């Protein structure tokens, strides 16, 4: 991991710890979780918000006013809104994506859940997703939420990442393995 990435992760982890503890103390973890989802969606949808978070050209005052307006418009919990304002004042909004990931992990851990990133060649049906979640729950001993994406380039099969474990049953992976084996022989 590069040094700037580890610094960002460290900063985000400290903010996430404080936010999580404040929300737990105020019995507002559900509100915090919905705020995380809302801010993630807003970042995904708004190029202007991504620019505000990542661009160093905005002054502290501009960042505070803009993020405060966004927080108010979204109706965010005071803990989330105040933290974002503080991050703007300290010029630390660039760690927002890492903060959201860290908060999501803490909330999931508190609820006894894990998230599995699943890549498939075509969208999973409800039945397939439920069966996969049930199988992963049996293997991991925790409830597993699926974060499913589609990549037609894997041709078929699945790539499943849970924590530090990865299971790649994609046809693309098998073809690459076969190709490497054939290169070694020839």
Q: What is the mean pLDDT of residues 102-127?
A: 91
| pLDDT of amino acid 147 | 87
> What size, in residues, is the chain?
186
Helix (H, G, I), strand (E, B) or coil at 133: helix
pLDDT tens-digit series, residues 34-84: 999 999 999 999 999 999 999 999 999 999 999 999 999 999 999 999 999
**Where in the chain is CATH 3.40.30?**
113-185
Provide the β-strand partners of residue 116: 146, 162
pLDDT band of 4, cuts 50, 70, 90:
low
pTM exceeds 0.75, yes or no: no
Lowest-confidence range among 6-10, 74-78, 102-106, 173-177?
6-10
Q: What is the reported pLDDT for 60? A: 93
**What pLDDT digit, counting tens, does each position of 119-172 carry?**
999 999 999 999 999 999 998 888 898 989 999 999 999 999 988 889 999 999
Q: Specify the pLDDT at position 91.
A: 94
Instruction: For domain 3-109, say whether CATH 1.10.520.20 is its number.
Output: yes
Q: How far is the C-alpha of 108 from the C-alpha of 159, rounded, in Å?
A: 21
Strand order in the sheet with 113-120: 143-150, 113-120, 158-162, 165-168
**Architecture (CATH level 2) of domain 113-185:** 3-Layer(aba) Sandwich (3.40)
Higher pLDDT, 81 or 184: 81
pLDDT value at residue 140: 87
**11-38: b (≥16 Cβ within 10 Å) or e:** bbbebbeebbebbeeeebbebbbebbee
Give span(s): CATH 1.10.520.20, the chain. 3-109
């Amino acid at each position: 991991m590069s040094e700037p990435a580890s610094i960002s992760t460290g900063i985000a982890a400290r903010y996430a710890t404080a936010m999580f503890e404040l929300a737990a103390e105020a019995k507002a973890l559900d509100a915090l979780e919905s705020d995380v989802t809302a801010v993630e969606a807003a970042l995904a949808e708004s190029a202007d918000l991504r620019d505000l978070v990542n661009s160093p050209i905005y002054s502290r005052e501009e960042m505070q006013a803009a993020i405060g307006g966004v927080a108010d418009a979204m109706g965010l919990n005071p803990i989330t809104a105040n933290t974002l304002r503080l991050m703007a004042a300290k010029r630390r909004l660039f760690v927002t994506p890492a903060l959201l990931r860290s908060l999501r992990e803490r909330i999931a851990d508190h609820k006894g859940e894990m998230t599995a990133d699943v890549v498939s060649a075509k969208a999973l049906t409800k039945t397939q997703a439920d069966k996969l979640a049930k199988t992963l729950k049996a293997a991991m001993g925790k409830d597993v939420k699926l974060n499913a994406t589609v990549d037609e380039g894997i041709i078929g099969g699945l790539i499943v990442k849970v924590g530090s474990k990865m299971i790649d049953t994609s046809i693309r992976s098998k073809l690459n393995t076969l190709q490497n084996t054939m290169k070694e022989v020839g």
